[in-house]
Amino acid sequence: MAEYIITTEKGKWEVICGLEIHCQIISKSKIFSGASTEFGDDVNENVSFVDAGMPGMLPTLNKECVHQAVKTGLGLNAVINKYSQFSRKNYFYADLPQGYQITQFEYPIVGEGAIDIDLSDGTSKIIRIERMHIEQDAGKSIHDMSPTKSFIDLNRAGVGLMEIVTKPDFRSPEEAGAFLKKLRSIVRYLGTCDGNMDEGSMRCDASISVRPVGSVELRPRAEVKNVNSVKFVMQAIEYEAKRQVELYEKGETMEQQTRQFDSVNGVTKFMRKKEFSNDYRYFPEPDLPPLILTDEFINKIKSELVELPDVKKARFVKDMGLTAYDAMVICENKETAEFFEKAAKGHDAKKVANWLMGDFFAMLNEKKLELKDSPVSAENLGALVELITTNVINGKTAKDVFAIMAETGDNPEKIVEEKGLKQVTDTSAIEKMIDDLLASATDNVAAYRGGKVGLFGWFVGQIMKQSQGKANPTLVNELLKKKLG
């Protein structure tokens, strides 16, 4: 495993990092109210009296949010806690209508878990999950619409969140990045969160500290809050670790603190410390009795769980002979993996994988299309590969056929038939072409036989041209060698 060590003139330092990720739960209504979770609607339109913290309003727990949390916990290979409790986290802020957030403090719904991450050097590492709980999101404050006023929209207030806390197992920015990608992949597979960091449906806080290599102490952490992309998380860790090393090497110390990431300049900045530190006064939410989950409930969800990326990846490697890297790329996205599997069914999986990751994705990119809108269906991609494998067409022809498929959406057999693109595999026909060529290109034949072996390619090219590219290249090579000597 490659180590990420910060080496200076004075010493060697390692980075200790933990992540806290908030994932918005995919559900129709909010976690404690019946208002819609739809993004982008008119201001304060998806707000119920409960969300607005009106007098006498009470929370009711959304069944789907519990399902999604259990699913996610299973996807994290974590313990599902049959007994969990809701708590109030008390503080005042404009986007928090009740003056408290309903969350889970002492008894979260999901306990310890672990997931594997794959690193670029081919190794993998286990990252341990500390816990996961569910809670409500806050509303949105808009500060830049007026010089003296801030505007509050409560549409987001009350949307369900899953908060995942890892143990401080990360030792490099790369590890953190790999974890976030993996987590995103898992929640997208499960359909529990859409994982769009840029839209805010997945948010990450990183806790970072450093220590001299070899020491086991844990120094004060800096918590960098609300970083909204994988790339920025990695940058923030890199920057902050270096900053702390410099600080310590100057002989300074630091306190535990909260920081912000300035993505424009790539630096972390200290967040103003408040006069009175916030004491959240957590206590059990009296409006919600404890949540008790039965084995039945959990097992039903387990049985309905989709195949997760790691399992799928392992299966692709074992059963279909894909390389670990190819399997990882294909499995990152559930839809891609499903498309691939359909395309590869009954065909040469490795070839299909190559076509998928190469020409196929290039085509989608160029046409600016999503996979679901692909003009080339999975079956047709598979059929194309089949034509190559069975020597009906050669590789070069296949590219032409693919281009036509992308334009017309037709199946490859039809295209080959109509355009008469079948590969010429008739040995005698090729032999005749070769004989004709050798008879007419006597100078080159002599030169070749005299030692200019580089000319072989010219001969191949001529036969391919003569056959309008349809001759089977392998056969051409074989026969030419025989006849040229």
Residue ranges in contact with another protein by CB under 8 A:
27-29, 33-36, 42-66, 85, 88, 90, 92-94, 97-100, 141-143, 146-154, 275-276, 279, 281-284, 286-292
Q: Please say which residue, 46 or 244, places its beta carbon nearer to another protein.
A: 46
DSSP letter at 359 equals: I
Q: Please say which residue, 53 or 469, places its beta carbon nearer to another protein.
A: 53
What's the number of CA atoms in the CB half-sphere (13 Å) around residue 27? 26
Distance of closest approach, residue 384 Cβ to another protein, in angstroms: 42
Distance of closest approach, residue 133 Cβ to another protein, in angstroms: 15
Distance of closest approach, residue 115 Cβ to another protein, in angstroms: 27
Q: Please say which residue, 36 or 333, places its beta carbon nearer to another protein.
A: 36
Separation of alpha carbons 480 and 173, rounded Å? 55
Burial class (CB in 10 A: 0-12, 13-18, 19+), 469: middle
Distance of closest approach, residue 409 Cβ to another protein, in angstroms: 37
Q: Please say which residue, 24 or 185, places its beta carbon nearer to another protein.
A: 24
Handedness of CA 275, 20, 108, 37 (dihedral sign): positive
Distance of closest approach, residue 147 Cβ to another protein, in angstroms: 7
Separation of alpha carbons 14 and 210, rounded Å? 6
Q: Please say which residue, 97 or 177, places its beta carbon nearer to another protein.
A: 97
Determine contact, residues 389/348, Cβ cutoff 8 Å.
Answer: yes
Q: Please say which residue, 28 or 481, places its beta carbon nearer to another protein.
A: 28
Q: Please say which residue, 67 or 243, places its beta carbon nearer to another protein.
A: 67
Cα–Cα distance list, 264 to 203, 224, 319 (Å):
18, 15, 46
* CA-closest candidate to residue 298, choices 135, 130, 83, 71: 71
For 23, the token pair is 């994932």
Separation of alpha carbons 198 and 127, rounded Å? 24
Distance of closest approach, residue 301 Cβ to another protein, in angstroms: 13
Distance of closest approach, residue 97 Cβ to another protein, in angstroms: 6
Q: Please say which residue, 41 or 249, places its beta carbon nearer to another protein.
A: 41
Q: Please say which residue, 93 or 325, places its beta carbon nearer to another protein.
A: 93
Determine contact, residues 341/322, Cβ cutoff 8 Å.
Answer: no
Distance of closest approach, residue 74 Cβ to another protein, in angstroms: 18
Distance of closest approach, residue 372 Cβ to another protein, in angstroms: 25
177-182 own/partner pairs: CB under 8 Å, 24+ apart:
177/230, 177/231, 177/233, 177/234, 178/117, 178/118, 178/119, 179/19, 179/115, 179/117, 179/127, 180/19, 180/21, 180/204, 180/230, 180/233, 181/230, 181/332, 182/115, 182/116, 182/117, 182/118, 182/309
Separation of alpha carbons 197 and 180, rounded Å? 10
Q: Please say which residue, 198 or 279, places its beta carbon nearer to another protein.
A: 279
Question: Which residues are bridge partners to 124 per DSSP?
Answer: 118
Residue 57 amino acid letter: M
* CA-closest candidate to residue 84, choices 133, 128, 22, 21: 133
Distance of closest approach, residue 168 Cβ to another protein, in angstroms: 23
